[in-house]
C-alpha cells in the first residue's frame, strides 16, 4: 500500500498544489504530443521532438513533486535524480564505468557539458520520479520499494536505449554482447542502470515519505507517463517506427516494466474500487 504519515488519509492539495498538479498534467500532454509527432518527422525534427519530450516530462514530474512535497524537498528530488544520473553519465563517458564504453553524438539534442548533453540529466528525473511514485502504490517498505522501482527503471531503459541508439544519439563500443535480438547494447549498460537507479531511490527514500494521493488529478502525471511509456512504446516500436532493430526490444520492455506495472495497476484499481465503495 502507499506510504502514510500520521493517519492513513492522503493529504489533499492546497490551491497552489492543485494548480501545480494540473500544470503537471498539461506538461505530460505536451510530452505525449511530441512523442506522437516524433515518427512523423525526420532528421533534426526528431532531435527537437526528443528534447521537447524530455523537457516536458521532467518539468511535469518536478511540478508534481512540488505539489506533493513543496519546493525545498523538490530541489532534493531533482538533485537525487538529475544530479545523480547526470554525474553517472559524465563518469560513464569518461571512464566506461558503470555502464560500459559509449559516447554521445555532439550537437544533436542541445548543449553538452563534459561530453554529456544537459538534457540527459533531466531524463533521469522524468523516469526516476515516476518509478518512485508508482512503486509506492505497491509497498511503503523501502527494502521492497527501492528494488521494485529499480526494476522499473531498467525496464524503461530496455525501450529507451534501443530507440536512442537506432537514432544515433549515442553509440556503444561493444555492439555484440547484449540480449538476444538487442545485442547492440551491452549487458553492462543494464547493470549500470540498476546500480545508479538503486542509489537514486535510496536518496529518494529519505526525501519522500508522503502518502500517495489517488484522487484526480494527483495520479494522472506518474500513472499516465508510466502507462504511455510501458504500453505506448511497445505499440510505437511495432507499428509506427519503421526500424527493424526496435521490435525485438518489445518483449523485454513489456515484461520488465510489467514487474512494477502489474502490481501497481492492481493496487491502484483496488484503491479506486474501495474509494468508490466508501462514497456510496
Q: Where is average pLDDT lowest: 173-177, 252-256, 276-280? A: 276-280
| pLDDT tens sequence across 128-161 | 999 999 999 999 999 999 999 999 999 999 999 9
Say how far apart CA 158 and CA 147 lie, in whole Å. 17
Read out DSSP for 223-275?
HHHHHIIIIIHHHIIIIIS--TTSGGGHHHHHHHHHHHHHHHHHHHHHHHHHH
| pLDDT tens sequence across 203-248 | 999 999 888 888 888 899 999 999 999 999 999 999 999 999 999 9
Q: Considering only CA atoms, which of 204, 213, 211, 208 is closest in space to residue 4?
A: 211
**Residue 258 pLDDT level (bands cut at 50, 70, 90):** very high
Average pLDDT over residues 68-79: 96
Mean pLDDT of the chain: 93
Predicted local distance difference test score (pLDDT) of residue 58 = 98
Answer yes or no: is pLDDT of 83 > 80.
yes
Q: Where is average pLDDT lowest: 12-26, 40-54, 140-154, 186-200? A: 12-26
Predicted local distance difference test score (pLDDT) of residue 280 = 60
Amino acid at each position: 500500500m502507499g506510504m502514510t504519515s500520521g493517519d492513513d488519509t492522503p493529504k489533499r492539495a492546497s490551491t497552489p498544489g492543485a494548480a501545480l498538479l494540473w500544470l503537471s498534467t498539461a506538461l505530460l500532454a505536451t510530452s505525449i504530443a511530441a512523442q506522437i509527432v516524433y515518427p512523423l518527422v525526420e532528421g533534426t525534427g526528431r532531435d527537437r521532438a526528443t528534447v521537447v519530450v524530455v523537457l516536458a516530462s521532467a518539468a511535469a514530474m518536478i511540478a508534481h513533486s512540488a505539489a506533493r512535497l513543496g519546493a525545498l524537498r523538490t530541489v532534493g528530488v531533482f538533485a537525487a535524480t538529475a544530479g545523480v544520473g547526470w554525474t553517472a553519465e559524465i563518469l560513464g563517458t569518461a571512464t566506461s564505468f558503470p555502464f560500459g564504453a559509449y559516447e554521445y553524438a555532439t550537437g544533436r539534442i542541445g548543449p553538452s557539458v563534459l561530453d554529456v548533453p544537459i538534457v540527459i540529466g533531466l531524463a533521469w528525473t522524468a523516469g526516476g520520479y515516476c518509478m518512485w511514485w508508482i512503486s509506492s502504490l505497491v509497498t511503503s517498505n523501502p527494502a521492497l520499494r527501492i528494488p521494485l522501482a529499480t526494476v522499473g527503471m531498467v525496464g524503461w531503459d530496455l525501450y529507451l536505449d534501443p530507440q536512442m541508439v537506432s537514432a544515433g544519439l549515442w553509440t556503444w563500443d561493444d555492439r555484440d554482447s547484449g540480449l538476444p535480438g538487442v545485442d547492440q547494447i551491452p549487458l553492462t549498460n543494464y547493470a549500470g542502470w540498476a546500480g545508479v537507479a538503486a542509489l537514486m531511490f535510496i536518496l529518494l527514500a529519505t526525501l519522500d515519505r508522503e502518502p500517495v494521493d489517488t484522487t484526480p488529478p494527483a495520479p494522472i502525471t506518474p500513472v499516465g507517463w508510466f502507462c504511455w511509456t510501458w504500453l505506448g512504446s511497445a505499440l510505437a516500436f511495432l507499428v509506427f517506427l519503421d526500424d527493424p532493430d526496435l521490435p525485438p526490444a518489445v518483449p523485454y520492455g513489456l515484461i520488465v516494466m510489467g514487474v512494477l506495472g502489474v502490481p501497481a495497476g492492481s493496487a491502484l484499481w483496488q484503491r479506486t474500487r474501495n474509494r468508490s465503495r466508501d462514497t456510496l
